[in-house]
Amino acid sequence: MEPDRMAKRPRLAEGVTAASAGSGEWAQVISAVQPAIVALKVTFVCAFEDDQASLSVGTGFVVDKQQGLILTNRHITGVGPVRGIAVFDRHEELEVEVVYRDPIHDFGFFRYDPSKLRLTGAAEIVLEPNDLKVGTEIRVVGNDAGEKLQILSGTIARTDRNVPEFNTVYNDENTYYAGAGAGTSGGSSGSPVLNKAGRAIALNAAGTDGAASAFFLPLDRVCYTLEGLREGRMVTRGTCMAAFHFKAFDELKKVGLHEQEELEVRRKHEDATGMLIVDSVLCEQKSLRAGDILLKLQGEVCINFVQLEGDLDAHVGESVELVVNRGGEKLVLQVDVADLHALIPRSFVELGMDVLHGLGYHAARRANLPLDSGIYLARAGYVFESLGADWGCLITSVNGKATPSPEAFVKAIEDIPDRQYFPVQWHDLRDFRRDRTLKSGFAKMSRAWSPLRIWRCSTGTRESPEIWDSQDMPLPSRRPRVAEPPGRAAMLTGGDRLVRALQTSLVTVRFRTEQRFCTEALDCGSAEGVGLIVDAKRGLVVTDRHSAPQSLGDVEITLAGCATVDGEVIFIHPQHNLAFIRCDPEALAALLQSKLPLRSAKFAKGKQASLRAGENVYFVGFDNQNNAFSAEVRVAAVYLPSGKDEFPPWHMPRFRERNLEIIVLADTPEDARGGVLCNKRGEVRALFAAFDWQGARVREETTEAFGIATSVFAPLLEAFQKEPNLKPQVRSLDVEVSAVDMATLARGAAGKMPSAWVQSVLRRCGQQGQVARAIRVSRVLPTGASDGKLLPSDVLLSIDGQTIACALDVEEALWPRSRQKTKAGRGSAGKRSRSPRVGACPSEAVAVQVFRDGWQIEVMVTPSLLGSEDDAELVIWAGLVLRKTPRCILERCGPSVVAKAGGVFVQHVLGGSPADSQELHPHCFLKEMGGRPIHHLSDVLQHSRDSREKARCSASTGRGEWVRLRFLDLAGKEHVRAVQPDLVFFPTLDLSRCGNGRWQCTQQP
């Protein structure tokens, strides 16, 4: 044969070989259809039914190349709003939009713009539902297990399987499924099931974990829907509010089928092996009952789902005649046909990060509840998490009003002001089979996180995809109701003398925040603890950082065990496990006016202000049920955790305690949540606080209580009492210290240590009843006050002439000199002059003497002035939760990383956001946006404003232009990613703290 006359054979697609396809014949078939098969990356932008906001991968295939229609599964298109990307054969990425989701069966359609394909040739796969037969050799071609292309072989084993059932809200019904041993897995959902002619005979839908079984959806209703989309008409889908199953004749005879009825069916359909029987009905169906055998539909024998659905789809809004066998009795029924599309939620409500929508067909069927029973909580946010409800709950009423629909829910809560509690009734649908009890409780309204917003979806067509529009409801004008003061009669009167003396000063603290905005709080976003009133007139309370880890959140303070008021975090100690919170002034004033006896705690003075090992003291506090009690306890040790005993770093950087001598009890009361350690007169000597640290496993959080001597936070109390409206500052050398035994130091140090200093340390430690220890520098914060001046392993001898024998000595030596003179000049009568605010004066250099390499060296260090270690602003851009880079991050990084680190840190990535869709990870520095350096949060906001002005985003999709981002991880490696902002579902938000201490959320225009 002449070379120019040689027959041209189709080129095998990249990666497709005879071996991978199973044979050369199959390789040619797959090569022809491969350009029509796409990998889908679909982002569920918000929780809907049991789909959480997240990124999902799957497969689809082009069924109409002119109109750009892609067929895939319903569980890939989702039910709520989504953003999708289709990756074509030549690695081209195109945006896709939902044009149709089937309300019952597991299929849906995306649409793309065919004119935007540049490299991939136009191709489509023809649907051939009639070729789905037992024994057909098949190939499942798709994005299996996240791979770009996988080819799985199999043989159709059966075509009359009932729908597979899963423990999810959505389950298919009223159709057969085909089965084969194809061994599909995650990512292959939506793949075409091909025959040797290269046509799709079914749609891959599901598989069985731990087995090779795969389930395929027949294409009868798919073809019906595709025809409607091509013609541009609405696709009607009807239901009689009942789910049917196919059962064999022998099974049906056991429940009442007569021999004559079987013969009538077999005369009509010679190859018939069974009939349809009602498996379940919705509560709205009053005619049909479970167990009814379908004999005829509209006067014709009906034994298959294709005929059943065809008649129902053709009579939406009308009624059909069904002849059924019910327990051996023949009945003729007129059954209404409802619109299935109207029974699927097409709107949702956002409130305080909660997402709620109507109770759809599938959830109602699964729970066996009427469709108007309530609204479905798809995501528990700040409001409904406050009453302990989780996603999957059904809210039946709020504020005493029934909530059968999202509109009714909005009407019921629109007048409830911020921070107001309101009654709620709900069912827990996830546990509904075990417990169908109607639960009740009180939720707390929150309008600071987001406005009350209702979203509605307009149905997609061939020309126009689904569009979600939002409407913000106005804020209520009335203020929250102030609870009536309980009065003195509500006070606790039980307990011993110490409990009665301190119950007016001890409080319990409850903290909650949105989990996605945890900056310093535990991952769960909530905590409970104990605090101590230090200024009753101003409502000032000292507590630990476990109980009040950050100001962005909700703080409630229960006073005297009988009155709960809102609070705000006003100061978080930058170095220690301490926080100060303040009661709501209006609520506090009402309580004081009602004669509720709130008292400032009395603190021990002089030597009593510190504790030593072996002393007997009294614990007064609360157990985990908030019962107040007291117990005599003994101090086992007062020491600085060092070496293997130090508080370990967190897996992801956050505050950890250091430079603090903790008080350990030999007999800590069982079940003690927290409280104080006091003497027998009720004078407080230490706060018994809850400490958090990283457990042995990742994400394991450990909490244990230790004592903090009052001398640690005494300067802050004085500062607040003198100038309550000004926040204090704490002086710091920016080093972490550890304790080392003098005996060990003497043997290991080069050279001789100063004898005067050694004698002073021995004397001081002996007075405290502990082994003589020196304080040594273990870490120096890069770019901090001591960077380049102090070195790890330096032994601290003195600061400004004051001998250093413990970690507290370092802090006391850094106090303003006027306060040091006051402390030194206190007379025997206890009189003292007023001391200035901590950090009120500019920081002055101090002389630090250290023992280094056998030499006594003096260096001058200007201490840093540290304010409250708390955020005042967060910015959310494209789903990135950004904050000012905190100190704990810099402490974690080495000097080389700190030198390159930026001022903006990525704390979290919101699920379902553009950042999540690009698989960006948190805990890194944001260095650049679109080539512009980012130093502060204001730079991010300015970039957002500039981009919005220049945006050429689609009016229908709201997607902005791609932005190139440069990140620096904690190891110092740079990463470049691109993100496409979503201006509809993820606009730029500025969360900032106002002057009154409240947080507010502002959406950038």
What tokens does 495 get?
């307990």
pLDDT digits (tens, 9 = 90+) for 588-607: 888 888 888 889 999 998 87
CA atoms within 13 A on the CB side of 211: 9
Q: Mean pLDDT, to the nearest integer, of 551-577? A: 91
* C-alpha dihedral (951, 956, 957, 963), degrees to nearest 10: -10
Contact of 207 with 214, CB cutoff 8 Å = yes
> Mean pLDDT, to the nearest integer, of 250-269?
94
Between strands 82-87 and 37-44, the pairing is antiparallel
Spatial contact of 611 and 617, defined as CB atoms under 8 Å apart: yes
Alpha-carbon torsion 381, 875, 882, 886, what sign?
Answer: negative
Residue 461 has pLDDT above 80, yes or no: no
So what's the pLDDT on residue 303? Answer: 93
Phi, psi (degrees; rounded to nearest 5) at 974: -90, 145
User: Hey, CA dihedral for 426, 430, 431, 436, is it positive or negative?
Assistant: positive
Q: What pLDDT score was predicted for residue 368? A: 94
Percentages helix, strand, coil for the chain (3-state, rounded to 5) are 20, 35, 45
Burial 707-723 (b: 16+ CB within 10 A, else e): bbbbbbbbbbbbbbeee
The mean pLDDT of the chain is 87
Residues 6+ apart with CB under 8 A from 621: 506, 530, 628, 629, 630, 669, 672, 673, 674, 675, 676, 688
Helices (H), 418-511: 497-502
How confident is the model over 653-696, as pLDDT tens digits? 889 999 999 999 999 998 899 999 999 999 999 999 999 988 77
**If you count DSSP H runs as helices and E runs as strands, how many of each does the chain have, helices first?**
20, 58
- The DSSP 8-state label assigned to residue 584 in this structure reads -
Query: If you write DSSP's letter for every residue of 10-73 in order, what string do you get?
Result: PPPPTT--HHHHSSHHHHHHHHHHGGGEEEEEEEE-S-BTTB-SEEEEEEEEEEETTTTEEEE-
Least confident of 16-25, 254-263, 911-920: 16-25
Question: Which one-letter DSSP state was computed for residue 799?
Answer: E
Which helix (H) or strand (E) is 261 found in, with range?
Answer: helix 259-268
Amino acid at 767: Q
DSSP 890: H
Please give the pLDDT value at position 951. 62
Give the C-alpha separation, 961 to 532, whole Å: 52
Q: At residue 606, what is the residue type?
A: G
- The count of other CB atoms within 10 Å of the CB of residue 199 is 18
% of the chain residues with pLDDT over 90: 61
User: Does residue 769 register a pLDDT over 80?
Assistant: no
Using 50, 70 and 90 to split pLDDT, how confident is the model at 79? very high
Percent of the chain at pLDDT above 70?
Answer: 90
Average pLDDT over residues 437-447: 92
A 10 A CB-CB count for 84 gives 25
Which stretches does DSSP call E strand in 305-374?
A: 319-326, 329-336, 338-339, 347-351, 354-358
- Report how far residue 196's alpha carbon sits from residue 618's, in angstroms, rounded to the nearest whole number: 84
Contact in structure between 501 and 631 (CB atoms under 8 Å)? no
Selected residue with higher pLDDT from 550 and 723? 550
b/e sequence 971-992, b meaning 16+ C-beta within 10 Å = eeeeeeeebbbbbbbbbbbbbb
Q: Which residues pair with 202 in a beta bridge?
A: 193
Q: pLDDT-derived band of residue 373, with 50, 70 and 90 as boundaries?
A: very high
Other residues' Cβ atoms within 10 Å of the Cβ of residue 679: 15
- Residues 6 or more apart from 378 whose CB is under 8 A from it? 46, 47, 48, 49, 80, 348, 355, 356, 357, 391
Write out the two tokens for 33.
């259809």
How do residues 955-992 score in pLDDT, each as one tens digit? 456 788 899 999 999 999 999 999 999 989 999 999 99
The encoded tokens of residue 136 equal 């057909």
Angle, CA 623 vertex, CA 621 and CA 628 arms, to 5°? 45
Is the confidence at residue 833, as pLDDT, over 80?
A: no
pLDDT tens track for 726-748 = 788 899 999 999 999 888 887 77
Q: What distance in Å separates the CA atoms of residue 311 and residue 281, rounded to the nearest whole number?
A: 18
463: confidence class by pLDDT, cuts 50, 70, 90: low
For the record, the structure tokens of 807 come out as: 């970690």
Q: Which residue has the higher pLDDT, 826 or 214?
A: 214
Element (H, E) at 766: helix 755-767
pLDDT band of residue 954 (cuts 50, 70, 90) is: very low
The helix (H) or strand (E) run that includes residue 472 is strand 467-472
Q: What is the CA radius of gyration of the chain?
A: 35
Does 297 score more than 80 pLDDT?
yes
H or E stretch at 636:
strand 628-639
Under the banding of pLDDT at 50, 70 and 90, the label for residue 144 is: low
From CA 365, how far away is CA 359, in angstroms rounded? 10
Can you read off the two tokens belonging to residue 461? 């067509």
Report residue 681: phi and psi, to 5°. -90, 0
What is the rounded distance in angstroms from the CA atom of residue 150 to the CA atom of residue 183? 11
**Residue recorded with tokens 């990742």:** 698
pLDDT (mean) for 398-412: 95
Of 66-75, 304-313, 682-691, 892-901, the one with minimum mean pLDDT is 892-901
* Mean pLDDT across 340-369: 94
Integer Cα distance of 515 and 881 in angstroms: 12
Residue type, 913: S
pLDDT (0 to 100) of residue 825: 43
In whole angstroms, what is the distance from residue 469 CA to residue 746 CA?
74
Render pLDDT for 86-140 as a digit per residue (tens, 0 to 9).
Answer: 999 888 999 999 999 999 999 999 999 999 999 988 999 999 999 999 999 999 9
Rounded mean pLDDT of 51-71? 94
DSSP string covering 893-932: S-HHHHHH--SEEEEEE-TTSHHHHTT--SSEEEEEETTE
Res 947: pLDDT? 81
In contact, 523 and 701? CB cutoff 8 Å: yes
CA dihedral sign of residues 202, 204, 206, 208: positive
Mean pLDDT lowest among 43-47, 228-232, 533-537, 700-704? 700-704
Contact indicator for 814, 803 with CB cutoff of 8 Å: no
Distance CA 481, CA 559 (A): 18
pLDDT, residue 458, reads 81
d(CA 37, CA 62): 6
**Per-residue CA distances from 637 to 140, 766, 812 (Å):** 68, 13, 21
Q: Name the nearest CA neighbour of 804 among 785, 790, 787.
A: 790
Burial class, 969, CB count within 10 angstroms (exposed 0-12 / middle 13-18 / buried 19+):
middle
Q: Evaluate if residue 926 carries a pLDDT over 50.
A: yes
pLDDT digits (tens, 9 = 90+) for 227-243: 999 998 889 999 999 99
pLDDT at 183 over 70: no
Please give the distance of CA 305 from its chain centroid, rounded to a whole number.
42
Q: pLDDT digit string (tens) for 7-52?
A: 333 333 445 555 555 567 888 888 899 999 999 999 999 999 988 9
> Taking the model in full, what pTM does it have?
0.89
Task: Please name the residues in contact with 933: beta carbons below 8 A apart, sequence gap of 6 or more.
Answer: 927, 939
Mean pLDDT of 294-311: 95
* Residues sharing a CB contact under 8 Å with residue 480, sequence separation 6 or more, in sequence order: 417, 418, 419, 420, 445
Cα separation values, 429 from 49, 374, 375, Å: 11, 12, 11
Q: Which residues lie across from 542 on neighbouring strands?
A: 532, 580
* Among the listed residues 711, 720, 709, 722, the one whose alpha carbon sits nearest the alpha carbon of residue 677: 709
DSSP state of 985: T
pLDDT given at position 465 = 77
Cβ atoms of 79 and 51 closer than 8 Å: yes
Residue 1005 CB neighbours (<10 A)? 9
Structure tokens at 493: 């009167």
Q: What is the mean pLDDT of residues 597-622?
A: 89
Name the pairing type of β-strands 701-709 and 730-732. Answer: unpaired
Closest CA to 453 of 468, 473, 475, 477: 473
- Within 8 A by CB and 6+ apart from 822, the residues are 832, 833, 835
